[in-house]
Structures are given as C-alpha cells and as structure tokens.
Amino acid sequence: MESADRLGPSLPTYLSWDERVRAHRCFAIHYRPLVRQLTRGGYSFQDSARGYAELEIAGGTPPEPFPHQAEALAAWRRGKRGVVELPTGSGKTLLGILAIREARRDALIVVPTLELVAQWCLVLERELGIAPGAIGGGSFEIRPVTVCTYASAYRHGERFGDRFGLVVFDECHHLAGEGYARIAECLIAPYRLGISATLEREDGRHRLLEQLVGPLVYRKAIPELSGEYLAGYRVHTLHAELSPSEREAYRSARSRYLDFARGQGIAMSSRGDWRRFLFAASRGEEGRAALDAYYEQRRLAFSAQAKFDVCAKLLNRHRGQRVLIFTNDNATAYEVSRRLLLPIITHQTLVSERRKILSRFHDGTWPFLVTSRVLNEGVDVPSAGVAVILSGTASVREHVQRLGRILRKQEGKQAVLYEVLTRHTAEESTSQRRRQHDAYR
Amino acid sequence: MLTADLLLYRRHKGRVFPHRIDPASPALLAAAQSLIRLFASVPGKTRGEIEEAASGLAYPDVPLKVQRGLLKLLFDRAEFGTEAAGDPAAIRHGLFDAAAVRWREEGANGPPSWRVAVLNAVAAEQGLTPAQAEAAMFADLPSQQRLLKAPDFTPGQLLLRFNSAQIQGLLLGAQRVVVEGGRQSPQRLRQILRWLKFFGLLFRSATDGAEGLRVGIDGPLAVLEASTRYGLQLAEFFPALLLWPPPWKMRAQVRLRSGGGLHELLVEPDPYLRSHYPDRGQWVPQSARGFVEQVRALGSSWQAEPAEGVLMLADNRYLVPDFLFRHPRRTQTVLVEHLLQPSPEILADRLALARAVESPRYLFACRGTPAMREAAAGAAVFLYKRNLTAAAFVDWLEQVQE
C-alpha cells in the first residue's frame, strides 16, 4: 500500500507489516475502512486491490416489492451493509435482487446448498436478464454476478476475493460458524447484505455477523406476514404410543443414563450439563454404558414403531398433495423410506440424484419425500403444503426452518404441519422447547 | 489427518502443548488392537456397521476423543467399495416409481399391504430375487459400502500416528514455522530441503556455524493464496521432519480453534513421535525420476541423472541441484535446479547464488507465471507454465550451451 507509512500514529490496527512484500497487509474485509480512512485523510493512493466493476443490468424494470421488502431495502440502503431477518417464503431472494440493482456492483451470492445455487441462477436470469456464473458442485465459472456455495467460498474464496463489490450471504447464520467466518474476511466487497429466516444461533455466534456483514437492520416474523404474504398454516401435534416392549426398554435405558448423571451430580438441565455428562461418560466403562443408554432411549422415542403407522395414515389423508417428512437422524429416515417405499434425500444422496428426486417431487411424480436435515432450509419447494415432523432436535431454528418449507404463498394454499411425538417420553419436552417461537404461539 | 474437533491440547501462558499418548501403554495398545480388529475381515463390514460397532466400544483409561481420533485414522487408511446385486439407484427408483402409483391409487392406512407385490415386481424387472433387491436398495451409500482394504497399522504404529496427527492438525493453523536443524550431514541437509521443495513450501533457509541449519517456513495463515491446500502440504511435511536425526527444534506460531490469538508450539525429537515415511536417505521423487527417464527416451546427446549433495557457498549459503546433465562429446556438465513458483525475490536470491558457482554451470527450470519473465530475463532460467517436459528443456539447454 503506497504511502501507508505516512499514516503515522493513525495507522489502523488491522494493518500489519509484511517483510516479504515490503508492504502493510490486512484482511480483505478491511478494504472498505482502509479506503475510507485514506480518502478522508486526503492521502493520495493507488488502489490495485479492487478487481470489480460497475454492474450493467440489461433487464427491464425492477419487480414491485412487497411492503416488508421495500422497508428492508430502505433500512439496508443507509449503510449498504447489514443483515435482514425474514421468514422463509417471504421473498428473501427478491430482496437480494433489489440490493444488487441498488448497489450496481459486480455481485457474489453465497448460499448453503447446490440446490440454492441453481435456484438463485434461475431468478437472476429472470429478474436481471444476466447469465450468472456458478461455483460449486464441479462448476467454477466467475461472472459479474456469481452464485457460490459456502463450502466452495471457504475453499476458493481467496481466488476471487477482489472480484465483487457486493456480497449477499443467503441464510447468513451459516457464515458465523467457525470456519465459514473466514469467507467474509477474504472478500473485499464493501457492500454486504446478509439474509436469514432464523438468525439466532444456539452458540451465540450470530453476534459475529455485525462485524462480518453489518448490523441487523430489519426483521419481520412469520405471524406478521402469515395470510397476506405467506400461506396460512395450522400446526397439529399427534401422539404415538410405545409398544409394551419398547416402553420397558425405554424406561430401563433412561434410568441407566439418568442414574449415572445424578450420581455425578449432573442435573441434565442445561447445555453445560450435557458437556459435563459427556466428559464424565468418557472416563470409564460405566460412563460409556450410560452414554449408550442415553442414545438408546432417544432412538426408541424418535423412531417408535407406531410412528411409522401414524406417518402412513397422514400420507393416506394427504394423497394428491406434496408432503415432506422430516426425521432427526438418517437411520430413521432410511427406515421410513424402506418401509413405505418413499424417495429420500440425506447428506449421502449424490447431487445428481438429489436433483432428480426434487424434480419428481416438484412435478408430482413422487409426491412424498423423506429427509433428515438436509432440506431443513434453503430449498424452494413451493408446492409442498404438508410437513410431517417425525422427530427433531430442541432447536427452535430447525423447527422454524422446517415450517418455512411449506409456507410459500400459493393460491388457496393452507399449509399443515404435523408433529408426531412419542407419548410419555422426553420427546414431549423437546417439542416444548423447540416451539418457543412466535410462529407456534 | 485429524479434524480440529479431534485435537487435544493444553494451553498455558501463550504456549500450546499437544496431547501425546504413550505408544507402549498396555491400555492404549489394547484399545488400538480392538479398533483395528473392527476392520479385520475383507471384504468385511460396511462403514456404517464399523461405525456402530466402534460406538459401542468402551475402554477404561482411554479418553473418548483419543478413541475417536484413532478410529478416524483407521477410516482414513481403509478402502471401501459398493458390493450389490444390480444397480442400487435403478432398483430404488423403480421401487419409488411403482410405490408412488400404489400410494396414489390405493393408499395405505398403516404398513402398506402392497409393499411385497411392488418389491417382487421391481426385483423381477431387474433380474433379482426380492431379498437381493431389498438388500441392494441403498447399498451404494457411503455408510453401506463394504470394506475392501483394511488399514495396515499395527497397534503401536496407530498410536504413534495419533501423536504426529495431533501436531499436523495444529500446523493447519500455523502462521510461521521455524526449524532449527542442528549440524546435519550434507545428505540429511539435502534430504530435508528436497522435502520442503517436494511439498511446495515457502521457506528461507540458512546455515550458521554454531547452530547449523535454520529454516523459516511460511504457515497457511501467512500465505497469500490457496491457504487450505498449503496447510495440508505443511502438515504432510511434518513426518518428513521426524526423519531427521536429533537434535532439532520446530517452533510454530499457531492459531487455535478455541481462540486466544497465536500460541507457540514447540516440538523436539521425542520417542512418542516417529515418522511413518520411509527413510530413503537421498530420496529422489518419482517426478524427478520420470524426468530423467524422459530425457533418456529422447535419445539426444544430453544425458541426465538425479544430482547428489549440496553445493556449499560462502556465508553459509548453499544450492541444492536436482539434476546433473552431461554432454559426453562436448565434455560439458550442467547442474539444474527445479523451482516451483518461487516469488520473484526468491528467484533473484537463487540466481545471485548461482552466479557464485564457477563450475559446472548452474541453471534453473522454473514453473512460474508470465509475470516472472522480468525476474528471469537474461538469466539462465527455463521458464515453463504447467509441466516440465524433457524435449522442451533439452532444446532450450542446447541453445544456451552452444
């Protein structure tokens, strides 16, 4: 950086001297404050970091935003950095398009899945009249507007960190993870927009987004948009009973696990307690047995035999509709698929097969689809109107994202979410915890 | 390689102390032996079955993280493949197609009564029995793949590998590494320098009379591009360092996943650390041997062979040639050093050293970008873009030696 030495005592702390290139260095994320400081200080400098240009948009008039989208855009426009929290199906992608039109800079969109890469590419072509580049799943094509997965941005971000003036982080709560935070650091983009349906992370790291993307500038919850901009919805809780042998096995496993925990003075009432339990369990054979017992009682509650029958009855009731079936773990998902001969998508499903399954789900050839967690967020399945949650964690985010899969507005659509719980098991309290959200009140 | 969640270390006053396990501990050896046994028969269990069996194993006195780390090293070393009658994807898609029709037309208010009929029909279409079709339905999933090649570790080797993998995992977050090599023989000096080059590390080295060799290596946090791949290269270099006879020291500044800024990692020769790389002394990489073969196959007047030793120069500097070229008719001899994408400064430094070599002539083959032409201009540098090919190099050699 030319003349940085002249900054003297005002040298920003994020700069460090690199003897090898005989210049000051900083992370790409500091490009904007650095340029601002040099400009405001009246320094003459040569900017050879910037590798992006003004974006020419050939497409016609911008789409008319809904009121909540217009308000979110206005809030973001003030600093052209910030995070917006909007429910799934409320038009987050369109907000990203409006931000690209507003910023008029080469833009990178970072998304969690390959399905979303394809989905964003279609919308960009339709709304902006440009052919976007794509990075991920074997593609590596950089264009003025490019869509990239978080995984690819993590691996290759340093190769194109200078190429974009705007970055849109879709489902930006992923960015706050330990590894992915690096993506934001290696991009110079001065303009940044983060969008998410469920910003808050249980580990609290969502607070990092302020530094990586910008402050939370706008937020709207599901109940505020339900009916007018999102499909109306109902939530039903159904119960399945353990069989006598399952009940006995459940009681036995649960008391083995809890007796050990209590014996260690662990109440099992907080996240800290869980860590203490794991630590205690790792120190001997008795502990290992207690840990096994914990998994056994959880497995019995999550995949009680009666749940498969309840699931079949629900599918029977909703024949002719598109139904998504969610489980907490892959083993249960594959068990549902085997018993009911239903297509399935898990993290083990290859991209090509995943596309085929989703395509057949969309066109109604395979109207029922089983998944564990990979479809929790991001994938647009507008035709899905029914979700069956056979099992899940206590995570509010996961539960809201699963509800979000069926909320995209369609003419006459009334979405239904079923939560199937095994009666008299810990699953009932897990359900209460994950329902601590406006959407379920 | 161990992932960050499997690293065990202690932090104290700005230093990090990786957890090491005793490779002679009877409890650990027994645990390692029983984990290795999970992979015993080939073709054996599926990946999922091995994972499940391992999760049921418990060893007193072996921390869970150590157990998971040992298992990860075994999985990394094992080979799995699909074994199924028929094409699993075709079978399951056939089942989904047929079942979708049944769901639409008949439905089911519990376990589908038509399931067996669907299975029979699809199995018949695929030329299989219903049992084969059902078994093959998800046989191609990673968790269902069967063990084809067992990891070839003894319990002791596995425990030693765990210790070096802990340090390798920490090096993935290194900013700078300094190796003080003590006074080493020219053969050992050459060996380590070739490893550094083989793994494409950015380093500067110098010898000084009292301390011997000192190598400064950039860590992945300090490089300007491709830092993830570079981190793996640095980690893979570490077992090569373990081949060195003592005394030596490696100091690294590393960033830990648990935060807290940079910490110093100090590693010295230790009976708990042993290289799993073969010690071939003056080892010649396959690529170098291939290049020599290519030159031979050309049938030109030039003969090539891997170079030996180190050229010691003034001020404790040295050069490490890779190839010796001879032209018997002209009685010419040329030493050639192969450089992989050096920075212009490093190339200039090497060229300055080479100018000090009076005889034989010292030349460079250098993979680099067009931007390096300026640094290489007018000097004895054969600049190439992707692969070093014998024909192009010998043509160039012929021109510069005429």
The verdict on A255 and A111 lying in the same domain is: no
Residues A431, A341 share a domain = yes
Residue B223 pLDDT: 67
Q: Does residue B211 have a pLDDT over 70? A: no
Same domain, yes or no: A315 and A289: no
pLDDT band at B209 (very low <50, low <70, confident <90, very high): low
What is the domain extent for residue A260?
244-302
The answer to whether residues B394 and B295 touch, using CB atoms and an 8 Å cutoff, is yes
Percent of chain B topping pLDDT 90: 44
Q: Does residue B255 register a pLDDT over 90?
A: no
CB-CB: which of B100, B109, B257 is closest to A178?
A: B257
What pLDDT was estimated at residue A280?
81
A269-283, B95-109, B232-246, B353-367: which has the minimum mean pLDDT?
Answer: A269-283
Asked whether residue A31 falls in the same domain as residue A128, the answer is no
Tell whether the model's pLDDT for residue B365 goes beyond 70: yes
Domain boundary among A302, A325, A346: A302
Is residue A227 included in any domain, yes or no? no
Q: What is the pLDDT of residues A112-136, one digit of tens each?
A: 987 788 888 888 988 898 889 999 8
Tens of pLDDT along A384-437?
889 999 988 877 778 888 888 888 887 778 889 999 999 999 888 888 887 777
Residues A74 and A207 in one domain: yes
Q: Which chain A residues have a beta carbon less than 8 Å from that of B58? A: 284-285, 287-289
B144-158 pLDDT tens trace: 888 999 999 999 999
Q: Answer with the one of A220, A255, A278 that is the final residue of a domain.
A: A220
Q: Are residues A214 and A71 in the same domain?
A: yes
Phi then psi dihedrals of residue B355, to 5 deg: -65, -25
Question: Is it the case that residue A352 has pLDDT exceeding 70?
Answer: yes
Look at residue A60 and tell me if it is in a domain. no
Q: Is B216 on the interface with A (CB under 8 A)?
A: no
Q: Specify whether A23 is located in the same domain as A145.
A: no
Contacts of B6 in chain A (CB under 8 A): none
B:68-97 residues touching chain A, CB 8 A cutoff:
89, 92-93, 95-97
Res A3: pLDDT? 45
Given a cut of 70, whether residue B281 has pLDDT beyond it is no
The answer to whether residues A215 and A71 belong to one domain is yes
Nearest CA in chain A to B145: A348
How much of chain A exceeds pLDDT 90, in percent? 47
Q: A201-215, B174-188, B278-292 — which is least confidently predicted?
A: B278-292
CA-nearest residue to B144 within chain A is A348
Inside any domain, residue A50: no
A316:B109 CB<8 A: yes
The pLDDT assigned to A4 comes to: 46
**CB distance B339 to B380 below 8 Å:** no
**Residue A396 in domain:** yes
Which of A24, A317, A341 is the best residue to mutate to test the B interface, defined by the most B CB atoms within 10 Å of its own CB? A341
Shared-domain flag, residues A277 and A387? no
> Residues 382..401 of B with a Cβ closer than 8 Å to A: which?
none
* Strand ranges (E), B258-401: 262-267, 303-306, 311-312, 318-319, 323-327, 332-340, 361-367, 381-384
Assigned domain for A225 exists: no
Query: Which chain B residues are within 8 Å of A343, Cβ to Cβ?
Result: 92, 96
Angle of helix A396-404 versus helix A427-434 axis, rounded to 10: 70
CATH number for position A374 = 3.40.50.300
pLDDT of residue B310: 78
Structure tokens at A310: 């309840």
Indicate if A194 and A161 belong to the same structural domain: yes
Of the ranges A143-147, A156-160, B210-214, the best mean pLDDT one: A143-147
Residue of A nearest to B346 (CA): A20
**A20 and A154 both lie in a single domain:** no
Query: Would you say residue B368 has pLDDT above 80?
Result: no
A203 within some domain: yes
**Residue-level pLDDT at B315:** 65
Residue A68 has pLDDT above 60, yes or no: yes
Q: How many helices (H) and strands (E) does chain A have?
A: 16, 16
pLDDT at site A69: 95
A56 belongs to a structural domain = no
Tell me if A49 is assigned to some domain.
no
| Same domain (yes/no): A192, A83 | yes
The per-residue pLDDT for range B70-120, each reduced to its tens digit, is 999 999 999 998 877 889 999 999 999 999 999 999 999 889 999 999 999
**φ, ψ (nearest 5 deg) of residue B156:** -60, -45
User: Residue A5 pLDDT more than 60?
Assistant: no
Q: Which of A155, A319, A334 sits opposite B107 (nearest CB)?
A: A319
